């Protein structure tokens, strides 16, 4: 049945080369854990992406209940976690996944560093990776405020003060993030929400695409 649908579409649009291009690629022996178990260190990049997908999905579902407003944010989070079926699990996925992305990304960075995979000709991909690291940190920072509890509020106060300590433009960065010169409130929350769900994910998609295109173009780096 599915084969027939596939054949019907393929006959008209010739889609086989498209996915072949994406799915068929060489996996050298030295990165295959079936050959050398220690090669599992090569999985961390894929695991980072896998958890990122979970973050995107669970985040999309969370916005069905969440409101970025100082009066209702905490209440809506409380409601979705305690009154909605599986709310604890979906929010838990997003909460724990956020930490796990950072851990996996760090392990992936260590692997790339210690296998020397960043060396010529892969310097550009390392730079894009550093960009992804920055975006992930930004996502973590902006997402932390959204539940609008005491911990989130004071963590963000500290974070914004750190941003304000940048020489010369620190004050402007602070107002840009908080939306007000003194108050950390309604405008901060809506800004952080917009950055968290629209701006940073958009940047992330672009950087991830560049990261993956480059690795397919250059192949996996050779054995130690």
Partner 1 sequence: MSKNRVSRRQFLSYTLTGVGGFMAAGMLMPMVRFAIDPVLQSHGGGDFVQTELKVTDITEEPVKVDFSFEQVDAWYKSDVTSVAWVYKSGDQIIALSPVCTHLGCMVDWGADSAHPDQFFCPCHAGRYEKNGKNIAGTPPTRPLDEYDIQEKDGYLMIGPTKANTLS
Interface residue list for partner 1 (CB under 8 A): 54, 57-58, 61, 64-65, 72, 75-76, 78-80, 83-87, 89-90, 93
Beta carbon of residue 92, minimum distance to partner 1 (angstroms, whole number): 9
Beta carbon of residue 84, minimum distance to partner 1 (angstroms, whole number): 5
Nearer to partner 1, 79 or 212 (CB): 79
H helices present in the chain, as ranges: 2-13, 16-23, 44-62, 73-82, 87-114, 123-145, 150-164, 170-178, 186-194, 200-218
Distance CA 28, CA 221 (A): 9
Alpha carbon separation from 119 to 55, 113, 155, 216, 218 (Å, rounded) = 31, 9, 37, 16, 12
Beta carbon of residue 134, minimum distance to partner 1 (angstroms, whole number): 27
Nearer to partner 1, 129 or 147 (CB): 147
Nearer to partner 1, 47 or 214 (CB): 47
Distance CA 152, CA 177 (A): 15
Nearer to partner 1, 78 or 114 (CB): 78
**What dihedral angle (degrees, nearest 10) is formed by the CA atoms of 21, 22, 23, 24?**
30
Beta carbon of residue 89, minimum distance to partner 1 (angstroms, whole number): 4
């Amino acid at each position: 049945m599915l084969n027939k649908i596939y054949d019907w579409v393929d006959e008209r649009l010739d889609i086989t080369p498209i996915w072949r291009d994406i799915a068929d690629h060489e996996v050298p022996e030295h990165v295959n854990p079936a050959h050398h178990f220690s090669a599992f260190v090569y999985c961390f990049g894929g695991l980072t992406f896998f958890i990122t997908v979970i973050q995107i999905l669970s985040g999309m579902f969370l916005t069905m209940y969440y409101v970025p407003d100082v009066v209702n944010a905490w209440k809506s989070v409380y409601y979705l976690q305690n009154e909605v079926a599986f709310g604890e699990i979906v929010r838990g996925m997003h909460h724990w996944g956020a930490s796990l992305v950072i851990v996996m990304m760090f392990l992936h960075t260590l692997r790339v560093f210690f296998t020397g995979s960043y060396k010529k000709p892969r310097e550009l991909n390392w730079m894009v990776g550093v960009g992804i690291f920055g975006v992930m940190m930004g996502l973590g920072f902006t997402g932390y405020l959204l539940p609008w509890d005491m911990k989130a509020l004071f963590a963000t106060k500290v974070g914004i003060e750190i941003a304000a300590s940048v020489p010369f433009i620190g004050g402007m960065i602070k107002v840009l993030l908080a939306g007000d010169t003194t108050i950390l409130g309604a405008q901060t929350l809506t800004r952080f929400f917009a950055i968290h769900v629209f701006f940073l994910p958009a940047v992330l998609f672009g950087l991830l695409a560049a990261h993956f295109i480059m690795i397919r173009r250059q192949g996996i780096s050779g054995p130690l």
